Homo-oligomer: A and B are copies of this chain.
């Protein structure tokens, strides 16, 4: 309950490291000015980051007669971070340097019926082996592995995955991974949180205190940032915005709820709008969500009336669900991310804004921005690796 001095030190370290990544090369007094810290505190943190191997002095800046100032940057030759994005259909692994630049990638497909925990863990470990071999990284240089798994991760390291063909209930994923990756710290979380951390460090949420990052894909959910930090709730399940109710006695949800947001704006829900608009639509690929969503995007751009109606319907539901979030949480910015947002985001956004303006109260509505994820690479593996960096800085 109490905010501790450690919290403050951690927050300050995060702020300095973020500024370093965003603006290097910088000198100590730039860091102090940008973060609002005193020059003394900023200097202390710079020294800590140097000792941790995350920061390098890369030259000097003349200072009109005074002592030249050291130019500081993330230590590109420093420790390596690994981010893993597990989805229903793939395992994607990336190796990063301390500036969170990608050094190497590896990807393995997963098939709907080959998703046992042992199989998935094996694909993760192979992906890491491949990627670190490409990047020529010795294991001892790896600061840690961040793994994002689409489901609920518990403090004891077990995970449940809520995907149609996965039967993962309370799988001891952390134990399985640390068995195969001895001596490497592993952090587990879900894509909602990974994407949110990526937005906070590198995306539309940088420098914002109160943020909601909405992931739109097969599943739908939110990452909430409160006072500049990820909000996890009493039992680490905060952010299940996708399962808040939109339609009483509405569509059935795979998670047991009824009429929730996900059943109207998740990929299967959008496909259902399409089937209800035109059961014989050539845009509908019943067994391929991504093909259907991309076909909708293309047809919408070409002026197809059925696609336009489906986009309008989806945008209206999403707008109401976003207005609810605005009224309750009064965020500065709402960011849409995930593969459905990548594909349909710019098409639905006008409908979302028009509906949210109608359903949100005037004051919080005027204080909120709605934007698409500006990060042009995989935000989930990036965020998962950033969780490792945050863990190390704590």
Contacts and interface: CB of A to CB of B under 8 A. Distances in A.
Interface string A192-229: 00000000000000011110000000000010101110
A364 B236 CA distance: 8
Given A258-B358, A361-B256, A228 B1 contact: yes
Contact of A11 (B3, B228, B332): B3
B2 A228 contact: yes
A364 B7 contact: no
Contacts of A320: 245, 248
A376 to B, nearest CB: 25
B234 A367 contact: yes
A325 interface: yes
A356 to B, nearest CB: 11
B234 A209 contact: yes
A361 B237 contact: yes
A240 B209 contact: no
Interface in A309-332: 320, 323-325, 327-332
A334 to B, nearest CB: 11
B8 A5 contact: yes
B243 A330 contact: no
Given A4-B8, A359-B257, A226 B231 contact: yes
Contact of A233 (B1, B362, B364): B364
A34 to B, nearest CB: 12
Nearest to A160: B363
A331 B234 contact: yes
A36 interface: yes
Given A1-B209, A228-B1, A328-B325, A237 B11 contact: no
A358 B258 CA distance: 8
Interface of A: 1-5, 7-8, 11-12, 15, 35-36, 152, 207-210, 222, 224, 226-228, 231-241, 243-248, 255-258, 320, 323-325, 327-332, 358-364, 366-368
User: Nearest 3 CB-CB pairs, A to B?
Assistant: A233-B330, A235-B367, A238-B330
30 contacts: A1-B207, A1-B209, A1-B228, A2-B11, A2-B35, A2-B36, A2-B228, A3-B7, A3-B8, A3-B227, A4-B8, A5-B8, A209-B234, A222-B328, A227-B227, A233-B331, A233-B367, A237-B330, A237-B361, A238-B364, A244-B328, A245-B359, A246-B248, A247-B248, A248-B320, A255-B361, A256-B362, A257-B358, A257-B359, A257-B361
